[in-house]
Amino acid sequence: MPLQYMTSRADPALLDLPWSTPLEEWDQSHLAALPRGISRHIVRFVKLGRRIIAAKEIKDDVAVREYEMLRNLTRMGLPSVAPFGVVSGRETPEGEPLDAILLTEHLQFSLPYRALFSQRLQPDTVLRLLDALAVLLARLHLAGFWWGDVSLSNTLFRRDAGAFAAYLVDAETGQLFPSISDGQRAHDLDIARVNIAGELMDLAAGGVIPDDADPIDISERIVLRYNQLWEELTGLERFERGDRWQLEERVRRLNQLGFDVDEFEMSTDLDGASIQIQPKVVDAGHHRRRLLRLTGLDVHENQARRLLNDLDAFRAGEGRDEDAEELAAHDWMLRVYEPVVRNIPEELSAKLEDAQIFHEVLEHRWYLSERTGHDVTTQWAFADYLAHVLPAKPDEKSVVGVDTVEMPVIAMFPPDEP
């Protein structure tokens, strides 16, 4: 039976690998010395030209299914390893059949949990690992993915400043649905709790984690953190029409968790409004492209996200969810954005870009609303910003070439109530 290559990118170096040899017997000249996690299958890191790929030996049909699942997760922008290909039809020189090999791209700067624990992590660092796994699981569930084998072993971790980012590395048991039920989420959580407790018990037996660390108590952390995160992501927010700042605070918290708010679903009643925010992880540059399409403004990505949050809040507050998005964007430009940028005094116009000034006005509005306990209008926030904040900022041109260590720190907000 001839070899069959299913791959996302053709690479002639694939032809040079010893496919007729069981993976565990491959010569070291083909392998890269990288830390591996525990797997029920044979896994090796393989040199492929200048690239390093992970190779996993599994049954043919399972390899193809996992390859397709990883391709779907990659298209959806979910944190997972990227599929490279499947090699099937393998057999030894004597004609004995061999399992297929699933190839995935090596996730640079990532480590399996055992490599991290070998560094004698502090207890709070262990908890941050579980927090990262909870965020990953929530992202997958929001997208309709049921994992079916949640564990530290099936996850890779990247250092992310003082925290970690988690990536799915094994989708063998996973399934994609339009949405998943509470029962499916609970099942994944129960699998996670049991698997993680077992993995931590194994580490405790090897003396890797402190004697006073209880694996069962630690494993419960992911259930607690996941449930807190899920409530933040999907819970209903009720507020009066004059308290829109609470919606902005909700969006802020979600952004800090790494989730972008892509849409609002709003229902109204006699007492006010109930707003349900459905976060959606979107691809890089999404906000910039969307804002450019709706308004013609070409700004940086974070600025675009902030402006779009205000546009969406304007649309929801006006009760225009049924209107075309472009019409609401046109009115937002005329009634909210342009009155600010067109009224920046000429002598202050060199301080910052227009979009940055508008962003800071929105930040200032949120601050004032929080301080006063009720919504502050953009016009009021703009006037206060012009009076207390913008004049104290250096012109952008004057910053070029200046040693920023010597620059004074300028407060974003005024010390007194407006």
pLDDT attached to residue 303: 81
Residue 190 to residue 87: CA distance in whole angstroms:
34
pLDDT attached to residue 335: 93
Q: Residue 2 half-sphere exposure, CB side, CA atoms within 13 Å?
A: 4
* Length of the chain in terms of residues written: 418
Torsion of CA 153, 155, 160, 162, to 10 degrees: -40
Torsion of CA 36, 42, 46, 48, to 10 degrees: -140
- Residue 277 · residue 408 · CB < 8 Å: no
Residue 142 to residue 184: CA distance in whole angstroms:
12
3-state helix, strand, coil in the chain (%, to 5): 45, 20, 35
In this structure, the strands spanning 163-168 and 155-160 are antiparallel
| Helix, coil or strand: residue 101 | strand
In this structure, the strands spanning 110-112 and 145-146 are unpaired
- Residue 114 · residue 148 · CB < 8 Å: no
Residue 248: which H helix or E strand, with range? helix 244-256
pLDDT attached to residue 401: 35
Selection from 121, 211, 205 nearest residue 159 by Cα: 121
| Helix, coil or strand: residue 375 | coil
Residue 98 to residue 22: CA distance in whole angstroms:
7
Q: DSSP characters for 6-39?
A: EESS--GGGGGS-TTS-GGG--GGGB--------
Give how far Cα 133 sits from Cα of 126, 128, 165, 220, 244, Å. Answer: 11, 9, 8, 13, 32
Domains and CATH numbers, the chain: 4-105 (3.30.200), 110-233 (1.10.510.10), 235-406 (no CATH)
pLDDT attached to residue 58: 94
- Residue 250 · residue 260 · CB < 8 Å: no
What pTM value is reported for the model? Answer: 0.62
| Helix, coil or strand: residue 271 | coil
Over the Cα atoms of the chain, what is R_g?
26
Phi-psi region of 123 (alpha: psi -120 to 50; beta: other; left: phi over 0): alpha
Averages of pLDDT over each 10 residues, the chain, 418 residues: 80 87 90 67 86 91 95 91 93 92 86 72 72 89 94 84 77 94 96 93 80 84 89 73 71 67 57 51 61 85 83 86 84 92 86 84 90 88 90 55 33 34
pLDDT attached to residue 264: 58
| Helix, coil or strand: residue 214 | coil
Residue 48 to residue 145: CA distance in whole angstroms:
31
pLDDT attached to residue 282: 45
Q: Describe the strand order of the beta sheet including 83-88 as a list of residue ranges.
A: 4-7, 83-88, 100-105, 51-58, 42-48
In sequence order, the β-bridge partners of residue 83 are 104
Indicate the DSSP class of residue 80.
B
